[in-house]
Amino acid sequence: MSGWTVKETAPAKGAASGRGASARADADARADDGTAKDLAIAPVIAPVDLGPIHIPTPVVLSPMAGVTNWPFRVLCEEYGPSGLYVAEMITARALIARNPKAFRLCRFAPSEKIRSLQLYGVNPAIVAQAAQMVVDGGMADHIDLNFGCPVPKVTRRGGGSALPWKMDIFRELISRVVAVCAKANIPVTAKIRVGIDHDHETYLEAGHIAQEEGCAAVTLHARTTAEYYGGHSDWYRIAELAQSLDVPVFGNGDIWGADDALAMVRQTGCAGVAVGRGCQGRPWLFADIKHAFEGSTERTNPNLGEVGRVIMRHARLLVDFFDGEERMAVHDLRKHIAWYLKGFPVGGTTRKAFMECESLADVEREIGRLNPELSLPERVIDTPRGRIRYAKKVHLPYGWLNSRGTTRAEREALFGDDPMDAGY
Ligand SMILES: Cc1cc2nc3c(=O)[nH]c(=O)nc-3n(C[C@H](O)[C@H](O)[C@H](O)COP(=O)(O)O)c2cc1C
Give the closest residue to 117 by CA, choosing from 135, 99, 93, 96: 135
CATH code at 275?
3.20.20.70
10 assigned to some structural domain: no
Domain shared by 268 and 311, yes or no: no
Regarding the beta carbon of 148 and ligand 1, being less than 6 Å apart is answered yes
Residue 108 — φ and ψ, nearest 5°? -125, 155
Closest ligand 1 atom to residue 233 Cα is 25
CA of 164 to the centre of ligand 1 (A): 17
- How far apart CA 115 and CA 211 sit, in angstroms, is 22
Q: List, run by run, the mean pLDDT of 10-residue segments along the chain (424 residues).
A: 30 39 38 41 80 97 98 97 96 95 96 98 97 98 98 94 98 98 98 98 98 98 96 97 98 97 97 98 97 94 97 98 98 98 95 98 98 92 85 90 94 81 68
Ligand 1, atom 22, residue with closest C-alpha: 253
Is 160 a pocket residue for ligand 1 (Cβ < 6 Å)? no
In angstroms, rounded to a whole number, what is the distance separating the alpha carbons of residues 358 and 329?
9
Q: What is the CA radius of gyration of the chain?
A: 21
| Residue with CA at minimum distance from ligand 1 atom 26 | 276
Helix (H, G, I), strand (E, B) or coil at 333: helix
Q: Are residues 122 and 228 in the same domain?
A: yes
Residue 20 maps to a domain: no
Residues 240 and 340 both lie in one domain: no
Atom 18, ligand 1: residue with shortest CA distance = 276
- Of 54, 35, 194, the closest CA to residue 114 belongs to 54
| Residue 73 Cβ < 6 Å to ligand 1 | no
Angstrom distance (rounded) from CA 395 to CA 159: 11
Tell me what pLDDT residue 419 has. 66
Catalytic residues: 149
Q: How many CA atoms lie within 13 A of 258 on its CB side?
A: 25
The whole-number pLDDT of residue 43 equals 55
Q: Quick one: pLDDT at residue 35?
A: 40
Cα 133–Cα 189–Cα 4 angle in degrees, nearest 5 = 130
Q: Distance from the CA of 30 to the center of ligand 1, in angstroms?
A: 30
160 and 270 together in one domain: yes
Domain-located, residue 11: no
Residue nearest to atom 16 of ligand 1 (CA): 276
Nearest CA to ligand 1 atom 2: 64
pLDDT of residue 423: 67
Between the CA of 278 and the centroid of ligand 1 the distance, in Å, is: 10
Same-domain check for residues 105 and 171: yes
Tell me, yes or no, whether 171 and 272 share the same domain. yes
CA distance 238 to 270: 7
How many Cα atoms sit within 13 Å of 347 on the Cβ side? 2
Ligand 1 atom 19, closest CA:
221
Q: In the chain, how many domains are there?
A: 2
* Cβ of 264 below 6 Å from ligand 1: no
In this prediction, residue 42 carries a pLDDT of 52
Q: 221 and 143 in one domain?
A: yes
Q: Are 56 and 1 in contact (CB under 8 A)?
A: yes
User: How many Å is the maximal CA-CA distance in the chain?
Assistant: 65
Global pTM value: 0.90
Residues 179, 296 within the same domain: yes
Regarding whether 369 and 402 lie in a shared domain, the answer is no
Q: Is residue 330 part of a domain?
A: yes
Domain presence at residue 387: no
Do residues 371 and 271 share a domain?
Answer: no
In a domain, 3, yes or no: no
In a domain, 14, yes or no: no
Which is nearest to 192 in space by CA: 154, 239, 144? 144
Other CB atoms closer than 10 Å to residue 405's CB: what's the count?
A: 11
Q: What is the pLDDT of residue 23?
A: 39
CA 34 – CA 390 distance, rounded (Å): 36
Ligand 1 atom 3: the closest Cα is on which residue? 64
Same domain? 322 vs 188 = no
Strand-pair category, 217-224 with 272-275: unpaired
CA angle 208, 89, 106 (to 5 degrees): 120
276 lines ligand 1 (CB under 6 A): yes
**Which of 86, 153, 219, 221 to mutate to test ligand 1, by most ligand atoms within 8 A of the CB atom?**
221
| Distance in angstroms (rounded) separating the CA atoms of residues 209 and 225 | 19
User: How far, in Å, is the centroid of ligand 1 from the Cα of 304?
Assistant: 27
- Evaluate: CB of 105 within 6 angstroms of ligand 1: no
**Ligand 1 and 67: CB distance under 6 A:** yes
3-state secondary structure of 66: coil
The alpha carbon of 31 and the centre of ligand 1 are apart by a number of angstroms equal to 34
What domain range is 374 assigned to? 304-380
- Residues 304-317 as b/e (b if ≥16 CB within 10 A, e otherwise) read beebbebbeebbbb
Burial class of 348 by CB neighbour count within 10 A (0 to 12, 13 to 18, 19+): exposed
Shared-domain flag, residues 199 and 342: no
First and final C-alpha spacing in the chain = 38
DSSP 230-260: -S---HHHHHHHHHH-SS-EEEES---SHHH
Atom of ligand 1 nearest to the CA of 252: 23
Does the C-beta of 118 come closer than 6 Å to ligand 1? yes
β-partners of residue 217 are 189
Kindly state if the Cβ of 19 falls inside 6 Å of ligand 1.
no
Residue 424 belongs to some domain of the structure? no
